[in-house]
Structure 1
Amino acid sequence: MTWVKRIIKLAPIKSIAFERVKFDIQKLENPSIEGIEYQQGTLQGYTLREALLEHWGRKCAYCDAVNVPLEIEHIRPKSQGGSDRFNNLTLSCQRCNQNKSNQSIDEFLKNDPVRLDNIKRHQKQSLRDAAAVNSTRNKLFDSLKSFNIPAYCGSGAYTKMMRIKSNLPKTHFIDAGCVNALQEVTLKTIQPLRVKCNGHGNRQFVTMDKHGFPRSCYAPKHVRKDWKAGDIIKVKKKDGTSVLGRVKKAAKTLIFIPFRGKETSFSPKNTKPIHRSDGYRYSFTTIDSELLQKIAT
């Protein structure tokens, strides 16, 4: 909601599109459940295959092949007691699926221990993210409607349909543009802005030992009221040129990290603010050449 408020202040927003998806966790964990055991009725939202594609990165788990037909694969074969639960399923290309056959994952990847360890760790990941989406989606949509701006919701299946109809590749920022779209989507940018929450640092005065007692005395810091760590500033050098960078430490002199160059220090008199630290880190997402080629065609 914080970012919705920020964007409304910066741009004339006419409507809000929201993808109100629902993960059927019971069906994901046990696809064969039916009858009286399954109390929720018809499966809605993401299907099992879509959930597996998201969970395993839309590539073969055994050879990292992409842009090929992927088959649902049992990590522990059913002939060895494996189940149809979500955490026993992965995706593989046809060649790897045939080569693995009914071998155990340990036997099939005995010569690739790194990949074996990655698959096992990925296999143990829970569905807590899906549960969080299910529990907050309605409340989030109601909060969006409180801005007195027309808010519309769509499904994950509709988003995928519009992305395929627009002949666009699968990425998060492209999916965001296809949510509840009424016509084919045309991209106006291929370099989205990535925002990462870093917080405002640590407010702990002293470090503690394992018993909870302070290790040292509190040493007051030289805090400046005009600058703080994380601010983006422009520094004017003695030769008249200017350089952009980020404040690492704000004391009597500014410890400054330029975007191009080595860490140095400057007097605050020769600086100009560009962006105040707000607890977020901003960067442009790097677009690979294959994605650029797909968008161009």
Structure 2
Amino acid sequence: MIDQTHVEALYDCDVIDNKGEKIGSVKRVWLEDGTGRPMWAEVHTGLFGMKESFVPIQQGNVAGGAITVPVTKQQVKDAPSLHTADDHMTDDEQDALYRHYGMIPQAKTGEHDRLDDAGRRAADGRHATGQRGADDRAQRTDAAEVTLSEEKLDVGTRKVESGRVRLVKHTVTEQRNITVPVTHEEVRVVREPVADGARHTGKAFADEQAEMTLHREEPVVQKRTEATERVRLEKDAVTEQRDVKGEVRKERVEVERDGDRHDERRDRR
């Protein structure tokens, strides 16, 4: 871990990432207010060393004229660019760096751990030092503070029964008209002359009769049952947007002075 004893050794020191690749060289060191602990290194990067990037050094190790940090060269390359004024880093600028590197400080201790929750904020500001600025930083001796809280809405969903759907089968009788071709036999008389000398088969001048049976087709209706289709119910999930409203409480701070009351209201961000 890096502390105040390493500050002088950090200047012009090479910065090595967690894969052993050189990131750049240290230009300035940024210290934590109140503790003076080294927090960030402003490093020359790029092809010609023209770009300046902020690298977290809280968990770095100094050895052999180089500092090894637990981040990658690509992370440093993609780090947000800061335009610090009066050698001071604002809370928003700090938050941007912490979010980028996934680092969250423990409030007021100067200790910094890697956590998954990128929503917490650092409590103290950080200032840059010059070549020998570590001994010139002002210490905050008197302070009074209150902690403000506010409620947040956590919106989720739960599954409830909205209704039931049934498939009901019933029988319906309907008439069907179908045309069916039918055949019947009809008689026709055929006359033909008897050839000379042909044998006579009947009795001459006697009464006779000849008979034949005629046939016809009639429609016959039979019923059979067969499956025509299957019907089933299936569920599809449909997502829609719903507006949810709720009341939340927020604490505000009011500054009061003896003899002359002055109100100052600010929302905690």
Structure number with greater Rg is 2
Q: TM-score, normalised by structure 1?
A: 0.21
Structure that is richer in helix per residue:
1
